[in-house]
Amino acid sequence: MSQRNPFADSDITAMAARAIDKLGTGGFYDALLDILGTAATHDLAALVRYSRAAPPDLIIPRVEPTAAMTAYYNHYFAFDPFYAHWKNGGETGTYRLRAMDAGIGRSRYAREFLTAMAIHDEIAVFLPPIGDASPTLILDRAKGVFTQAEVSRVRRLFPLLAALHRRHLSIFVTAGVDPGNSPIGSERPLRFVDLHGIEVFTTTAWNTRAQDPLIADAVASLATRGPCTLRLAGQLALRRTQLPPDFGPAPGGFCDELAPDMGARLEPFTARSLPISMSAPLSEREQDVVMLTLQGYPVIEIARKLKLSRGTIKNYRLAIYRKLDITTERELFGEYMAALRQS
């Protein structure tokens, strides 16, 4: 991969003008990535939609998913520090991967996903959300780490990127455009309503799904509600979140979205948050070991985090395998995913 040239003030003016020309149209986020790319030498620029209610979506680059990417969406996204940041109520702004987790290089996530994707460090810029989802601009570096100076340059660009993004959303909704490359990622059942309950925008997917009588009844019940989540039949959820007070077409209104009811699958990975079918036979310390193992940490790192010897951790793992009637770490992951599906 060839690296892009770093910061150049003369480039930013021209790139900002190009982004303004793209407001409300396809290609806008490509233009934002071009602006971001001036701040730091990088190997790849991407746009990812991080949601607090669903797995991430890769929007740019528009490529056929590789085996590593498929593994990310099926499993590894749960160990992504950026996903965890947004899922657990993190704020918008600029974050560097290896500053968020200094030990990530020793984790399974790094060994089996980041290595396969040729990613050694990342900078993520979480833009103001649409509903509960943030379109996030990302720069990847295959070797070395981003310097503090580069991170600082990205932070200085954040107000410009966020302002352009907010203006784009306002134009997008006001115009009623529903392009295939929408700012919310892949086509989703979504609508915006203002504080008076007036519908100001819907996607085609929303209009199709809302014809279902059960969904229509649930939507009608939202009329007098604020932010909430309604769980529907068929493992579906109807979520209402509040829009920002400066969201032009519906200031302070609501974003309604139909999405899979991920339930326990998307709970944050914290100590003793295992499904009951797994946690019941285990002691609290054994649950700690399981959760750190599921996060991809090797024995030596688990021992360091729990302030125990490697031998003690190995003994705990043998006891865990015996109690769960399994024999390998791979089976532990399979047991966990099966327990989530049943919970």
Confidence at residue 10, expressed as pLDDT on a 0 to 100 scale: 57
Q: Rounded CA gap, 327 and 115, in Å?
A: 26
Q: Is residue 96 scored above 60 in pLDDT?
A: yes
Most confident of 66-70, 155-159, 184-188, 223-227: 155-159
Would you say 47 and 60 are in contact if contact means Cβ atoms under 8 Å apart? yes
Would you say 286 and 320 are in contact if contact means Cβ atoms under 8 Å apart? yes
Q: Is residue 242 scored above 90 in pLDDT?
A: no
Spatial strand order of the sheet with 121-126 comes to 57-60, 44-51, 133-141, 121-126, 93-96
Give the pTM.
0.65
Mean pLDDT computed over 20-39? 89
Q: Please give the backbone phi and psi of residue 254, each rounded to the nearest 5 degrees, phi first.
A: -135, 150
Q: Rounded CA gap, 274 and 258, in Å?
A: 27
Q: Would you tell me how many other CB atoms lie within 10 Å of the CB of residue 299?
A: 18
Span of 102-106, 211-215, 237-241, 277-281 with lowest mean pLDDT:
102-106
The stretches of the chain forming alpha helices (DSSP H) are 9-21, 28-37, 67-74, 81-87, 97-100, 108, 148-175, 204-209, 213-221, 276-279, 284-294, 299-306, 310-324, 329-342
Higher-pLDDT residue of 108, 47: 47
Structural domains in the chain? 9-172 (3.30.450.80), 190-264 (no CATH), 276-342 (1.10.10.10)
Q: Would you tell me how many other CB atoms lie within 10 Å of the CB of residue 171?
A: 16
How many H-runs (helices) and E-runs (strands) does the chain carry?
14, 10
Q: Rounded CA gap, 125 and 327, in Å?
A: 41
Q: Is residue 225 scored above 60 in pLDDT?
A: yes
The confidence band for 59, taking pLDDT boundaries of 50, 70 and 90, is: confident
Span of 112-121, 175-184, 312-321 with lowest mean pLDDT:
175-184
Reduced DSSP (H G I as helix, E B as strand, rest coil) percent helix, strand, coil of the chain, to 5: 45, 20, 35
Confidence at residue 143, expressed as pLDDT on a 0 to 100 scale: 92
- Give the dihedral of Cα atoms 109, 38, 157, 119; nearest 10 deg: 0
Q: Rounded CA gap, 47 and 39, in Å?
A: 16
- Note the pLDDT tens digit of each residue in 269-294: 444 467 778 888 988 889 888 888 87
Confidence at residue 183, expressed as pLDDT on a 0 to 100 scale: 45
The confidence band for 196, taking pLDDT boundaries of 50, 70 and 90, is: confident
SS (H, E, C) 80-121: CHHHHHHHCCCCCEEEEHHHHCCCHHHCHHHHHHHCCCCCCE
Q: Rounded CA gap, 29 and 182, in Å?
A: 10
Given CA atoms 276, 280, 285, 287 in this order, what sign does their dihedral have? negative
Confidence at residue 180, expressed as pLDDT on a 0 to 100 scale: 44
Q: Is residue 305 scored above 60 in pLDDT?
A: yes
